[in-house]
A = this chain, B = another copy of it.
């Protein structure tokens, strides 16, 4: 299965309020945990556990990779974080409030993040046809981007 978190997704918009929420739920606010939150919210796009452990390449203090994974799991269970996969390679993590869905070009590898509203028509069509309530947050829509399609137009 794909979606592990138990509660609903929570839309806290910064590391500070995420931290408060954890405390309100009786969880301890350790340095490693605070760092994971800061890294997640500081990043413009989803990051890997390794990048978080490395403190986003030195911009933040580093922490242990095992703790990062443990904290990401906990944050996901609490609906503060979600993870996704874009192609192969390590899983990526984003704050739950980071509402983006993805298109991935299988030719040039480019990832395009779009606002969920842009996919509502697609979602609706899928719901009609299959009764399936779709999202492209976890896995991207794979295919050929406009540019690569053109490149293959004539032979």
Interface string of A122-149 (1 = CB under 8 A from B): 1001100111111111111111111001
CB contacts under 8 Å to B, within A1-19, are 1-3
Contacting residues, chain B, for A103 (C-beta < 8 A): 130, 132, 134
Judged by a CB distance under 8 angstroms, whether A57 is at the interface is no
Tell me whether A109 and B142 are in contact in the complex, defined as CB-CB below 8 angstroms, given that A125-B121, A126-B122 are known contacts: no
Partner of A139, one of B107, B121, B142: B142
Judged by a CB distance under 8 angstroms, whether A88 is at the interface is yes
Copies in the complex: 2
The CA-CA distance from A22 to B1 in the complex, in Å, is 36
Name the residue among A125, A130, A138, A143 with the largest chain B CB count within 10 angstroms.
A143
What is the minimal beta-carbon distance from A104 to any residue of chain B, in angstroms? 7
Judged by a CB distance under 8 angstroms, whether A90 is at the interface is no
The CA-CA distance from A100 to B32 in the complex, in Å, is 44
Q: Is the CB of A134 within 8 A of B126?
A: no
Q: A3-B142, A112-B130, A118-B130 are in contact. List 17 more A-B contacts (CB 8 A).
A: A1-B107, A2-B87, A3-B107, A85-B85, A105-B132, A114-B130, A118-B129, A121-B129, A122-B125, A122-B129, A126-B141, A126-B143, A131-B146, A137-B142, A138-B142, A139-B139, A139-B140
